[in-house]
Structure 1
Amino acid sequence: MTVDRIAAEGLDELVPSRYAVRVGDIEVLVISDGILPITAGTLATNADTAEFGHWLDERFLPRDVLDWPLNVVVVRTGDRTILVDAGLGLEFPDFPRSGQTVRRLEAAGIDLGAVTDVVLTHLHMDHVGGLLTEGVKERLRPDLRVHVSAAEAEFWEAPDFSHTSMPAPVPDALRSIAARFLDEYRGRIRTFESEYEPAPGVQVVRTGGHTPGHSIVRLASGGDGLTFAGDAVFAPGFDNPQWHNGFEHDPEESVRVRIQLLRELAATGESLVATHLPFPSVCHVATAGDAFRSVPVDWDY
């Protein structure tokens, strides 16, 4: 059977979009929300142009606009089904290759009504937009709890973009989507200060840096561990952790957070998953002199 016929008959996706791992007794499903086009320079705003160009060339990446992966995670433990971030959603026609979270949840046999908790690493539009897609809110259970740090919710009441370096239309879109999300979900939001445990073995920890309330999710069970780092780590951040990402609201603090997290993961050997690492993004961290390197896990099939 040809590739075209496989696609036409809908037998399966040609490229996998979900990947399951276990952390002790905790089930983890990494789901690709799709990809976003991004100006390459946004990934390293303080890098030497020639050095960054060489970094891109070595990875066969274009120097103008590249595809940025977008991943979310589902955590199932005990009677809790926790969605970590929600992707971009379907209300952005300029990004037709993203916003796939809901469809891919359903393809994995996870109904929206089964989700007991949502954890948001931060309120950028590519992390909350999926909850604003038409018809999604009505399908969520009435007792759904949405967990976000208090510092994050407070920041988006009057966001400061003075230290970011984003494409011109982006700040207004970020501001609008975050305000809309806070308005529509205010009754379901549960804030925390520095850390929170929505279920045994699931810990949400505020790191700051990328945004004032940016948080990571740490899983631990049966001696195993996995960290969902959200936007604390990007692909260039392993071998060049000092490079700034244009979306970082406090670039210097982001560097500190990134280095501290990567050092810890390199020491413990636990797995790392991050929003914008190539799907399925599951990897380990190794040291490489004063920097780091990503060591992808072997696919288990």
Structure 2
Amino acid sequence: MSVDSVALGARGLDELVPSRYAVQVGDIEVLVISDGVLPITARTQATNADADEYGQWLDDRFLPHDVLDWPLNVVVVRSGDRTILVDAGLGVEFPDFPKAGQTVHRLEAAGIDPAAITDVVITHMHMDHVGGLLTSGLKERLRPDLRIHAATREAEFWRAPDFTHTDMPAPVPPTLRRVATQFLDQYHGQLRTFETEYEVAPGVLIARTGGHTPGHSIVRLASGADALTFAGDAVFAPGFDNPEWQNGFEHDPVEAARVRIALLRELAATGESLVATHLPFPSVCRVAPHGDVFRCVPATWDY
């Protein structure tokens, strides 16, 4: 799809189960796209939680105690003459995850030509955020002048990553390291790094938070009276009512919890919308205070 007056996703295919959801943020168009779901061990979501308390949390949501299907969302943003892909999903090289890695197909279903993408924002370099850019069927269709934005600290971290404080299944860290190295090798010439924040397009600001990874970043959208934050992996489903529960993929879990609480407090105060990578699709919600913790209030679908 070319960058023209047609709304993002308007020329896409009809689907029995929708994989995209459009949101308007002032003059900025946003399309949340599901990359699918990937299985994770349930305890990864709350490695420091009391087992009985976490078990009750899972039961209250009719979720299994062994393996969860973890939602995986990416976002396409159009502001001015820029069309921006925020994260790129898992990619297709992982046969153990057959229900994830759908970004290239979902872009096609939405009628979005990868050649129309001018910029990619990487919240962090875990494989479920950069793997799609390594996928045959997508990378060769990207424009040669594509600009990829990520925090300087993130690129530096993956040259010698530290997994000391993570709590992941044993095969995961070497795979994360390999995919991040491959990504940096293939796209080093197109990578544009920033220190603390960078405006990619009018009203589209990347801001480094750290925590989940040293260079983890969020994307803040603002136009007119509207605002939306794509939080990447700063917020997970248990993080609203249990924001101090730690996720096994967090490289600095204490700092990640601090970042999460500060972000949720801010969003509860401003009332702006939230989208995050691993919240159930389409994940558009608002944050409400609930005593000392928070509630996720899903947006009413507008269609």
Q: TM-score, normalised by structure 2?
A: 0.95
* Cα deviation code 1:193-243 (max 9, x no counterpart): 000001010000000000000000000001100000000000000000000
Provide the C-alpha distance between the structure 2 equivalents of 1:257 and 1:37, rounded to a whole number of angstroms: 25
The correspondence of residues 130-279 of structure 1 with structure 2, limited to 5 A, is 130-279=132-281
Identity of aligned residues (%): 79
Instruction: Tell me if 1:78 matches 2:59.
Output: no
Superposition deviation, residue 138 in structure 1: 1.7
Question: How far off its partner does 1:13 sit?
Answer: 2.6
In the TM superposition, what is the alpha-carbon distance from 1:12 to its structure 2 partner?
A: 4.0
Give the distance between the partners of 1:283 and 1:135, measured in 2 at CA. 32
CA deviations over 1:77-125 (Å, ceiling 9, x no partner): 1110000000001111110001111111111111000000000000000
SS in 1 for 2:143: coil
Whole-Å separation in 2 of the counterparts to 1:222 and 1:67: 37
RMSD: 0.7
Distance 2:110 2:80 in 1: 18
1:68 alignment partner AA = W
Alpha-carbon deviation of 1:15? Answer: 1.5
Match of 2:9 in 1: none
Distance 1:196 1:281 in 2: 25
4+ long deviations beyond 2 Å: 11-14
C-alpha separation between the residues in 2 aligned to 1:16 and 1:291? 32
Give the whole-Å Cα distance in 2 for the aligned partners of 1:136 and 1:298: 32
2:36 is aligned to: 34
Contact 2:231–2:277 (CA<8 Å) still a contact in 1? yes
Q: Secondary structure at the match of 2:218?
A: strand
Matched residue type, 2:49: A
Name the SS for the 2:69 alignment partner: strand
Matches within 5 A, 1:54-133: 54-133=56-135
CA distance in 2 between partners of 1:13 and 1:99 (Å): 17
What's the secondary structure of 2:249's corresponding residue?
A: coil
136-145 or 80-89: bigger deviation: 136-145
Task: Give, as a single letter, the amino acid of the residue that structure 2 aligns with 1:56.
Answer: L
On the 8 A contact 2:104/2:137 being kept in 1, the answer is no
> Which of 37-46 and 12-21 deviates more?
12-21
Report the AA paired with residue 184 of structure 1: Q
- Three-state SS of the structure 2 residue aligned to 1:175 is helix
5+ long unaligned stretches in structure 2 = 1-12
